Structure 1
Amino acid sequence: MLQFAAFSFILPSSLFLLILIYKVIFNRHATRGSNLKLPPGPKRLPVIGNLHHMIGDLAHQRLYQLAKMYGPVFYLQLGELPFVTITTPEAAKEVLMTQELAFSDHPAYPPSQLTSYENSSIFFTPYGEFWRQLRKICVLGLLGFESVRSFKSIRENEVSNLIGYIESLSGLPLNLSDRITACMNRVFSKASFGETCKQQDEFIALLHEGLRLAGRLDIAELFPSLKFLRYLSGAKFKLNKIKRKYDKILNTILADHKMRRENLGGQAGTLDKEDIVDSYCVFRNLTTADSILQPTTLKDMISAGTTAPAITVEWAMSELLKNPRVMAQAQNEIRRVLKGKDRIQESDIEELNYLKCIIKETLRMHPPAPVIPRAPREGCKVNGCDIPMNSTVLIHVYALGRDPRYWTNPEKFEPERFIESSVDYKGLYFQLLPFGSGRRMCPGIAFATASVELMLASLLYHFDWKLANGQAPEQLDMTEVYGVAARRKDELYVIASPCTSNSA
């Protein structure tokens, strides 16, 4: 995922030198195809294009402001790179449904590819037969409904451990952001590697560091013709170092699982508990899958599975703390449905309709990935404008969820808007696309949804909440920071008090 936040400190220190190098040595035009009818956009400066328009705000928020001036489809030239931003449901539908095949590739950013394996990543592999087989294996085998359901006990046990930890700090300030992330990491780690893997924590930490670096669009990526900048920035060296480390860990984990399966006959169902790596090993033994599945398949799923669910729960709790009326209504529903049970099970979630509205509203206002990139496979038009072949198309999910034609009071947190609405986040309603849409929507949506629902319901059921340090709800800072995904800038500190009425 792109990170434009770095522009504010990259430009002042290196831009003048870069301009001189660029003009003296290369002096080439970044934008070709002058006969194209490009989308509207702000005036571009020589060499840097529209980089100066991205200084200050977070990238997705700045793009949101530019959309109000230049319309639903607008064009920016950032260094050598052309970007087209899509900010309305109608334009998003044209890209993701009407012309889906033309926009079925993801842009291949070199930093992200350094943390992947050539031609084996479900995120960066070009659309085609190879990608279709890879997606089918991931969705139907590794992250299918049956696989997600089989990890039910892991989710319930880890959430129960989280509840126990919070109880031990009753009445004391608690870093809830940290505990939510740690719990989600353990859930996905154990689902991926099993209960006894000693290297899972190190692997997860490396993944997060790699994603943080790979998600950064720095000066070297803005001017790809100046290849030496990649080495001057140091990003390539850092990413390769991280990649070597988690390659070593992942290959050790795979070897251990393979040996364990061979000792037990190597067939599906021979283990007491199968994890995602076990399923991966089974598929790797199949002739049709052997040339498709590579270690990066696991890395892709794990990196996605440990980020979005934690961010969603963190934002949901933030909004509930800022809106006590909504929190009280959610707690009343959960406690009425559970009627004093000791702990929540996933089977209880089905009856929690208002809780599901809260999750939808959280994903509308705080999509983990505020923009979704696509790369056109051929020359095409959107909204009557030409889309350059070498451009990156950004579906602005953040803006779609705030379109006033679809959402009343779009800047307010109002879960009630979903009570009588059929709109959901599964890719069919283009005003709400936190997981994307079409062929390349997020394959981990089922796992993420199950994890978010159980954790949020449990937190609300077992505890009453208030902000730490005597902070009033209206004082809670909701500022975002954009790295791999858009999460809270400041960690969420709270005080939890056990709800005694649940024991009745």
Structure 2
Amino acid sequence: MNSYNSLLSMINISLISLLLIIVLWLIIKTFTKSQPNQLRFPPSPPALPIIGHLHLLSSGLPKSLQTLACRYGPLMQIRMGASTCIVVSNANIAKYILKTHEIDFASRYESGPSQYNIYSGSGFITGPYGAYWRFMKKLCATKLFAQLRRFQHIREKEIEKLLKFLLMRSSREEETCDLGKEFATLTNNLTFRMAMGKKFSENGDEAVQMRRLAVEIMAIAAKFGVSEVFGFLKNVDLFGNGKKLRETICKYDEFVEQIIKDYEENDQINGRENDDEDKDPMEILLETYRDTNSEVKITRNQIKYFLMEIFLASVDSTSAALQWAMAELINHPQIFKKLREEINSVVGLTRLVKESDVPNLPYLRAIIKETLRLHPPNPIIHRECIRDCKINGFDVKAKTKTLINAHVIMRDPDAWDQPDEFLPERFLVNNFSEDFGQTLIEMRGQDFRYIPFGGGRRGCSGVTHAYLVMEATIGALVQCFDWKIKGGEKVDIDVGSGYSGAMAVPLICYPVTHFDPF
């Protein structure tokens, strides 16, 4: 009897325990299910299992995101494979990201096929917000690229080389030139001479080899689709592009390693007593690398990747922007004529336009601004949320990737009159005035309708250099040449596939000499 009672007691205890476990499980389940219901995430299209919204995106990412934004609003949430992203398509919301909540979105991430990058995790431009990024940002501002005017002679020399090449082509009837290719050479040589002036040689091939490697890396990277970068194919090298990309980056690594060794050997022979003004950025980086008391200890890989990011940006963005500027000017002969008249009125007909003339050429500067509005170097600005926050009433979780669609924001009909038209006068105080004494509307940093170089603390560090190169180059090309297009009167201004916003068709022109400054 006692054993029966004991058994019955044990059964009752077990049942009560099971009941308590069930009640506790229901309480936990109810609590954990109620949490997401309290969060209000941005609107999102219906997603498919595994791939999320990849089926709604194309290689023309800015336009496919614009199509979705028209339906789901200027702040929406999408999923690219395992990555959750918010997409911003409005200047007011961009201001929340880049100014109001700037510190919350101060990180960036590698947007390309980073799994094949031997330097992954060593980036400055694409790196997370932290001690290394802050240190390099300070180094850029104080030493590496401080006082850009000291590189003025380099910019002028390279622009003169371009002009002499075009004058030679012009002297040969019916001989075309690929302006895109020449702009890539110009920007590459400029960057090489600024970064590693001690290794640049007029007769050497270091700059040529750097350009070849940079172009090859970009060409391979452009072959990756959205699903290969973000989606379920991310770690599957289906077409062998990952292997090719890694091999090319390894070639770059060997090339730059030899340059570094040459610098180190030269330092041992000649000592390191030069003033900072006499040192090029590579010397400063290596000096920082050797400094045991440096605030942050940088690595060799970080130096190599820093240089790679700079070169990729110069070849990919500045040269593309120069092409777009010339394409729009050729397609708008009245604007071309007005710019030439402005240059003639300020510079005259006896010498080449120079950087020092640019402040007195507001129409030239307005043309560059309008080019960057219609054809931004970075159509999609990448950020990553550092911590949970609210944007425009919606919850955004930490680690959420953020895509700011600069292409759409700078063509928003609610923010711009005739947004798809090339109208440089919109950046002048007296719109459509024939008076060349107009004042340029700067719009740098505070007006989030205009963000060709991003904004906030993670905005492009090379923006001033980009403006200097574009203004001086376009001014010289308009002053010195008339232009004819191979196969027609208009330039094809379709955007190519990929994410850089580059032209789909090469800019093949006949330069016709108008003024020879030499």
Match of 1:429 in 2: 447
1:412 correspondence with 2:417: no
The answer to whether the aligner puts 1:61 opposite 2:99 as a matched pair is no
Residue in 2 that maps onto 1:461: 479
Cα 1:240–1:308 change in 2 (3 A) is same
Deviations 1:457-479 (A, max 9, x none): 1101111223223x123xx3210
Rounded to whole Å, the distance in 1 between the matches of 2:472 and 2:383 is 32
Determine whether 1:150 maps to 2:150.
yes
CA distance in 1, matches of 2:137, 2:284: 15
CA gap 1:120/1:206 in 2 versus in 1, 3 angstroms = same
Does residue 104 (structure 1) correspond to residue 106 (structure 2)? The answer is: yes
- Asked if structure 2 preserves the Cα contact closer than 8 Å seen for 1:284 and 1:290, the reply is no
1:278-427, aligned counterparts within 5 Å?
A: 278-286=283-291, 287-288=293-294, 291-292=297-298, 294-295=302-303, 296-420=305-429, 423-424=441-442, 426-427=444-445
Following the alignment from structure 2 to structure 1, what is the Cα–Cα distance between the partners of residues 225 and 394?
26
List per-residue Cα deviations over 1:418-459 (Å, max 9, x = no partner): 011765363322111111111111111122121111111110
| Residue 41 (structure 1) aligned with residue 44 (structure 2) | yes
CA distance in 1, matches of 2:511, 2:313: 29
Which residue, 273, 278, 282 being the options, matches 1:267?
A: 273
Query: What is the rounded CA distance, in whole Å, between the counterparts of 2:466 and 2:350 in structure 1?
Result: 24
Per the alignment, do residues 302 and 141 of structure 1 end up closer, same or farther by CA in structure 2, a change over 3 Å counting? farther
- Offset of residue 44 of structure 1: 1.9
The answer to whether residue 227 in structure 2 is matched with residue 222 in structure 1 is: no
TM-score (norm 2): 0.83
Distance 1:158-1:177 versus aligned 2 partners, 3 A rule:
same
Aligned-pair distance for 1:33? Answer: 5.7
Distance verdict in 2 for CA 1:214–1:102, change over 3 Å: farther
Q: What is the match of residue 186 of structure 1?
A: 189
CA deviations over 1:263-286 (Å, ceiling 9, x no partner): 333133389x64332332343344
Structure-2 residue corresponding to 1:276:
281
Q: Which amino acid aligns with 1:51?
A: L
Other structure's SS at 1:487 match: coil
The 8 Å contact of residues 381 and 387 in structure 1, kept in 2 or not, is answered as yes
Q: Secondary structure at the match of 1:169?
A: helix
Q: Is the 8 A contact 2:343 2:353 kept in 1?
A: no
Measured in 1, the distance between the counterparts of 2:66 and 2:415 equals 16
Equivalence for 1:438: 456
Q: Distance in 2 between matches of 1:298 and 1:81?
A: 28
Instruction: Report the CA distance between 1:84 and its aligned residue.
Output: 1.2
Encode CA deviations 1:12-51: one digit per residue, 9 max, x unaligned: xxxxxxxxxxxxxxxxxxxx96764221232223333222
Q: Which residue in 2 is equivalent to 1:18? A: none
Equivalent-residue separation in structure 2 for 1:319 and 1:33 (angstroms): 49
Aligned length: 463
What does residue 123 of structure 1 align with? 125
- Residue in structure 2 matched with residue 3 of structure 1 by the alignment: none
Q: 1:402-428 deviations in whole A, cap 9, x for unaligned?
A: 122221100100000001176536332
Q: Structure 2: which 5+ runs fail to align?
A: 1-34, 430-438
Equivalent residue, structure 1, for 2:164: 164
Mark the structure with the bigger radius of gyration. 2
Distance 1:223 1:416, change over 3 A: closer
* Structure-1 separation of matches of 2:341 and 2:326: 16
Q: Classify 1:336/1:422 alpha carbon distance in 2 versus 1 (closer, same or farther; 3 Å).
A: closer
Distance 1:80 1:501, change over 3 A: closer
Which is further off, 458-467 or 387-396?
387-396
Closer, same or farther: CA 501–259 of 1 in aligned 2, 3 Å = closer
RMSD: 2.6
CA distance in 2 between counterparts of 1:484 and 1:223 reads: 16
3-state DSSP of counterpart to 1:347: helix
CA distance in 2, matches of 1:366, 1:48: 30
Deviation at 1:86, TM superposition (A): 0.3
Q: Which deviates the most, 162-171 or 257-266?
A: 257-266
Quote the Cα distance in structure 1 between the aligned partners of 2:375 and 2:139: 30
Aligned partner of 1:137 in structure 2 is 139
Distance 1:186 1:105, change over 3 A: same
SS of residue paired to 1:488:
coil
For residues 284-314 of structure 1, the C-alpha deviation after alignment (integer angstroms, 9 at most, x for no partner) is: 3443167136322222222222322111110
The percentage of aligned residue pairs carrying the same residue is 29
Q: Contact 1:365–1:398 at 8 Å: present in 2 too?
A: yes
Using the TM superposition, name which of 152-161 and 73-82 deviates more: 73-82
Deviations 1:203-242 (A, max 9, x none): 2322233244446355344346x77x43445344223212
Tell me the SS of whatever aligns to 2:484: strand
Summarize the Cα distance change of 1:260–1:462 in structure 2 as closer, same or farther, 3 Å threshold: same
How much has 1:384 moved relative to structure 2? 1.3
8 A contact 1:312–1:366 mirrored in 2: yes
**Aligned mate of 1:244, from 244, 250, 263:** 250
Among 196, 199, 205, the residue aligned to 2:206: 199
Query: Which amino acid is the alignment partner of residue 119 of structure 2?
Result: Y
